[in-house]
Amino acid sequence: MPRFAANLSMLFTERPFLDRFAAAAAAGFEAVEVQLPYDFSAADIRARLRDTGLKLVLHNLPAGDWAAGERGIACHPDRVGEFRDGVSRAVDYAATLGCDQLNCLAGIAPAGVSHATLRGTMVENLGFAADRLAASGIRLLVEAVNTRDVPGFFVSTTRQALALAEEVGSANLFLQYDAYHMQVMEGDLAPTLERHLSRIAHVQVADTPGRNEPGTGEINYAFLFAHLDRIGYGGWVGCEYKPRAGTEAGLSWLAPWRNR
Range list of H helices, the chain: 20-26, 42-52, 80-97, 115-134, 158-168, 179-185, 189-195, 221-231, 255-258
The residue from 30, 143, 167, 194 that is catalytic is 143
34: which strand partners?
A: 59
Phi-psi category of 142—alpha, beta or left, where left has phi over 0 and alpha has psi -120 to 50? beta
**CB 111, CB 152: distance < 8 Å:** no
| Cα distance between the two ends of the chain | 7
Residues 6+ apart with CB under 8 A from 122: 74, 75, 106, 154, 155, 164
Q: Is 82 a catalytic residue?
A: no
102: which strand partners?
A: 59, 140
**CB 156, CB 144: distance < 8 Å:** yes
Q: What is the CA radius of gyration of the chain?
A: 17
203: which strand partners?
A: 177, 237
Q: Is 240 a catalytic residue?
A: yes
CA angle 59, 132, 85 (to 5 degrees): 70
Catalytically active residues are 143, 240
